[in-house]
Amino acid sequence: MDRAIFLLLLFSLSFAVPACPAYPYKDYVTSYTAPVKPPDTLLQYCNWNLGEICLLSNAFNTTDDKKLFIGESIANDSFAQIWQWNQNIKFGKYPPNTSKSSTNIKDAWVSIAYLNPSVYDNGVYRITNSSLPLIKQNFTFVVDTRKLSGDCKDTFRICGYSYTINLQNTSSSLTATMNVKSEYMVDRYHLVTHCDLTGCWVTCDYYRTDDHKDSLSVSDSKKINVTKFNPTSNYSLAAYYNGLLEVLVNANDSNILFQIGNSSFYKTNYLYRIRNESGPYNILIKEVIPNNKTSTYGLSILEQNNSSFRILAPYSYNCSLTISNYFTSKMISGCNISNLSNSSTKPQIIPVKPKFFDQLFTIACLTVVAYILHLIVKRSMKNA
């Protein structure tokens, strides 16, 4: 009777065991090993519906070859293809940047993998007001389920884990912070000897519950610049000379293209190349390369004053000025000469003095021609 009362009392004590809080995720491992670096995505995972890029990539053997091939295959206005590529990258446990570990949370990392759209410009990511971040993260929840010293039995209750990702945006930086919380409980049992008038016996009785809580924060930041598009470039018609049109182009913006008929004038302050980040996952992004360049086709530059150009071109009613920045463009079109009189004074075209090496090349060509003529004349005189 006394033993029955004791067991009933012991059963009532079990209701005092603390309950395990609810967490949204329950997966865990009991034996932890650091994640192994996965194969390079440019070598292994090129199968994401990028057409010829992936069909032909097997012809290359090195990462550099494939980087070059993909870089050349994705055009300058290729935000859609880059976004497609980046969205389909299969990030694993291996950290693409720095990671942190605690007692039960191992190799936690978060990455602002990409901002769509964005371009990389000397350490700064230029974005628009509507650019969206692609956030990737990972970690491992580890529970040591080995029996504790001195216990006759341990019952592990995995409460689980939760995590949140917060974005903090300032005018010059974007920071993603991941906060992870985990918890598990161990109900510990000790051997206890019980005695009454009939004798003694040993039972494995509930001793206490250890609550193992853990938390960790990790973050990733990018320097950003919200780049607005406020074009100020323009052009005006200055004079008309019997089929030739003089145009004043104010090329105030970084990239402009003036076209008239089949002739064109192009000025750019930068070009692009494809940059890869977060190896071995290889996030792709357009990188700005400074390239102060002016080129013409079928027309002449009469004069340049800083960013203003005076151009002479064959007249065509179809003319336009396209102004571009990193993300968008604007076109101004039309060449109406009804308000221009046909001038009898033709513009003075000042020839551009050749550069030194151009002069040297010209001299070398003339020397070769002169030598050939000398040989021809010498042979003719000998035959005579």
**Spatial separation of the C-alpha atoms in residues 23 and 107, rounded to whole Å:** 20
Any residues with CB less than 8 A from the CB of 349 and at least 6 apart, and which?
300, 302, 312
| 325 within domain boundaries | yes
Partner residues linked to 206 by β-bridges = 189
One domain, residues 28 and 162: yes
One domain, residues 355 and 281: yes
Report how far Cα 322 is from the mean position of its chain's Cα atoms.
27
Q: Considering only CA atoms, which of 290, 339, 354 is closest in space to residue 120?
A: 290
pLDDT reported for residue 116: 96
Give the dihedral sign, CA 6/7/11/14: positive
pLDDT reported for residue 384: 55
| 215 within domain boundaries | yes
**Spatial separation of the C-alpha atoms in residues 195 and 197, rounded to whole Å:** 7
One domain, residues 243 and 210: no
One domain, residues 24 and 150: yes
Structure tokens at 224: 């950003």
One domain, residues 106 and 217: yes
CB 93, CB 138: distance < 8 Å: yes
**Spatial separation of the C-alpha atoms in residues 182 and 278, rounded to whole Å:** 27
pLDDT reported for residue 114: 97
Q: Considering only CA atoms, which of 233, 107, 220, 121 is closest in space to residue 167?
A: 220
pTM (whole model) above 0.85: no
One domain, residues 31 and 177: yes
What is the tens place of the pLDDT at every residue in 318-337?
999 999 999 999 999 998 88
**Spatial separation of the C-alpha atoms in residues 50 and 47, rounded to whole Å:** 7
One domain, residues 242 and 201: no
| 144 within domain boundaries | yes
Domain membership of residue 138 as a residue range? 18-38+92-226
pLDDT reported for residue 319: 94
Sheet hosting strand 300-305, strand order edge to edge = 234-241, 244-250, 308-314, 300-305
pLDDT reported for residue 284: 87
One domain, residues 222 and 340: no
pLDDT reported for residue 245: 93
**Spatial separation of the C-alpha atoms in residues 302 and 308, rounded to whole Å:** 11
pLDDT reported for residue 112: 97
* ω into 117 cis (within 30 of 0): yes
Number of domains making up the chain: 2
Q: Considering only CA atoms, which of 205, 192, 214 is closest in space to residue 155?
A: 205
Partner residues linked to 223 by β-bridges = 173
CATH of the domain at 340: 2.60.40
pLDDT reported for residue 279: 80
What is the tens place of the pLDDT at every residue in 228-252?
999 999 999 999 988 899 999 999 9
**Spatial separation of the C-alpha atoms in residues 155 and 30, rounded to whole Å:** 14
**Spatial separation of the C-alpha atoms in residues 213 and 102, rounded to whole Å:** 11
One domain, residues 239 and 340: yes
One domain, residues 201 and 220: yes
**Spatial separation of the C-alpha atoms in residues 157 and 351, rounded to whole Å:** 86
Number of H helices, E strands in the chain: 6, 14
Which portions of the chain are predicted below pLDDT 50? Answer: 1, 5-15, 48-50, 344, 349-357
Cα separations in angstroms, 139 against 53, 102, 111: 32, 11, 12
249 SS3 class: strand
pLDDT reported for residue 8: 46
